[in-house]
């Protein structure tokens, strides 16, 4: 399962084929999803999907890759972002810290339940690896578009 927000209309997706006669299926389509889908929540939505499948012989792919038809922005940045960070020697711990800080910020500032803030972060926010060069102080950032509450 590839819950990647940028796998959208016009994208070319390349998948490794590991067995002869492999099958292919599509499902779990989302109307909206934050980059990172941090709590397993997206806006689930039925969709009609049109696909063209080609077998690219000898592609030697170890993992999936894709090409987008253009910019991948969602145009939610007109009002800027609130950004929280997690810093340390483990990216997963940094990601959890950045998300937890955002949940606390949203719940406190907008007087919403932390569970609702967590789900909202998963749908609207973007989790990014901001820096990995300064080991062991890797930085993970969580971006939440300010326009959501306006």
Of 104, 110, 91, nearest in space to 149 by CA? 110
Q: Mean pLDDT for the chain?
A: 88
User: Can you tell me the mean pLDDT for 91-112?
Assistant: 96
What percentage of the chain exceeds 90 in pLDDT? 39
The token pair at 59 is: 């592609």
* Helices (runs of H) and strands (runs of E) counted in the chain: 2, 7
Beta-strand pair 81-88/138-145: antiparallel
Query: Is the distance from CB of 145 to CB of 76 less than 8 angstroms?
Result: yes
Sign of CA dihedral 118, 120, 122, 125: negative
Answer yes or no: are the C-beta atoms of 124 and 38 closer than 8 Å: no
Say what the pLDDT of residue 76 is. 66
Q: Where are the beta strands (DSSP E) in the chain?
A: 12-14, 30-32, 43-44, 65-67, 81-88, 126-131, 138-145
Distance CA 150, CA 144 (A): 13
Is residue 26 a contact partner of residue 52, using CB atoms and an 8 Å limit?
A: no
Q: In the predicted model, is pLDDT for residue 114 greater than 70?
A: yes
Point out which residues pair with 88 in neighbouring strands.
Answer: 138
pLDDT beyond 90 at 99 = yes
* Per-residue DSSP letter, 148: G
Q: Mind listing the domains of the chain with CATH numbers?
A: 81-149 (3.10.28.20)
Lowest mean pLDDT among 65-69, 101-105, 106-110: 65-69
The 10s digit of each residue's pLDDT in 59-98 is: 888 888 988 887 776 666 778 889 999 999 999 999 999 9
Q: Is the pLDDT of residue 8 over 80?
A: yes
């Amino acid at each position: 399962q590839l819950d990647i927000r940028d796998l959208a209309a016009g994208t070319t997706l390349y998948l490794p084929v590991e067995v002869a006669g492999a099958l292919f299926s599509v499902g779990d389509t989302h109307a909206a999803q934050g980059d990172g889908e941090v709590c397993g929540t997206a806006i689930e939505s039925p969709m009609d999907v049109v696909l063209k499948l080609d077998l690219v012989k000898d592609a030697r792919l170890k993992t999936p890759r894709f090409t987008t038809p253009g910019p991948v922005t969602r145009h939610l940045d007109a009002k800027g972002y609130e950004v929280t960070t997690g810093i340390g020697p483990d990216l997963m711990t940094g990601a959890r810290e950045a998300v937890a800080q955002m949940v606390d910020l949203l719940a406190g500032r907008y007087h919403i339940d932390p569970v609702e803030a967590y789900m909202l972060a998963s749908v609207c926010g973007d989790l990014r690896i901001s820096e990995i060069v300064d080991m062991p102080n890797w930085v993970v950032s969580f971006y939440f578009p300010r326009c959501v509450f306006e």
